[in-house]
Structure 1
Amino acid sequence: MNFIIQWSGEPAMQQAAIERFMKTGGRPPDNITVLGRWHAAGEFRGVAIVEAPDASAVAAMVMEWSDIFSFRIAPALTDEELGAVIGARQGAAN
């Protein structure tokens, strides 16, 4: 299952985030694959798309950074997955 993870932090926490990232490389747990991660230039926020077995795995991952960042997490669908949902709904409406 894919998830969109958005994070933001307070400027006072930026040095702590840099130190942790340099130490860990920002690597996720073994059960999570980062499909992409982007950092806003000049801001202390970013977004990642990850593949995880379930929401619990994502929650465990962000807890490792929750002392530095605030997070918004949402399940994500590909165009194909959403198309199947839309198609099923349209079929049921007819």
Structure 2
Amino acid sequence: MKFITTFSWKPDPKIREESIARFKKTGGLPPKGVTLLGRWTNVDLSGGFDLIESDDPKAIAEFSLMWNDLMELTTVPVLEDEALAAVLQRFGG
């Protein structure tokens, strides 16, 4: 299943420094059980989003735990258009 994780952080020099250091150290890669399909960061560095894939909610929680001390995170499951079209096809109206 695919998920979008949005992230944002407030302008705080200490948090920014820690975020940069952690990203340099880890590459921002998720734990085993989560595949990073893409990451996009706002050009003003206020936040962005990751497109991830996993069938393991514990691995998703672990990925969140790796970063939620530094930023606000929201993770939601998403559907691609083909899957959504199948749902809409069954919907009368």
TM-score, normalised on structure 1? 0.88
Q: How many residues align?
A: 91
- Does the alignment pair 1:10 with 2:19? no
Q: Deviation per CA, 1:39-64: give whole Å up to 9, x if none.
A: 10123201011001143321221111
The RMSD of aligned alpha carbons is 1.3
In the TM superposition, residue 84 of structure 1 has moved relative to its aligned partner by 0.8
CA distance in 1 between partners of 2:46 and 2:30 (Å): 19
CA distance in 2 between partners of 1:89 and 1:58 (Å): 31
Q: Deviation per CA, 1:21-79: give whole Å up to 9, x if none.
A: 00111111121111110010123201011001143321221111011010111111000
- Does the alignment pair 1:42 with 2:44? yes
CA distance in 1 between partners of 2:19 and 2:36 (Å): 18
Indicate the percent of aligned positions where both proteins have the same amino acid: 36
CA distance in 1 between partners of 2:42 and 2:84 (Å): 27
Paired residue type of 1:9: W
Give unpaired runs (5+ residues) of structure 1: none
Asked whether the 8 Å contact 1:14–1:44 carries over to 2, the reply is: no
Moved segments of 4+, more than 2 Å: 54-57
Partner of 1:89: 91
Q: In terms of Rg, which structure is larger?
A: 1
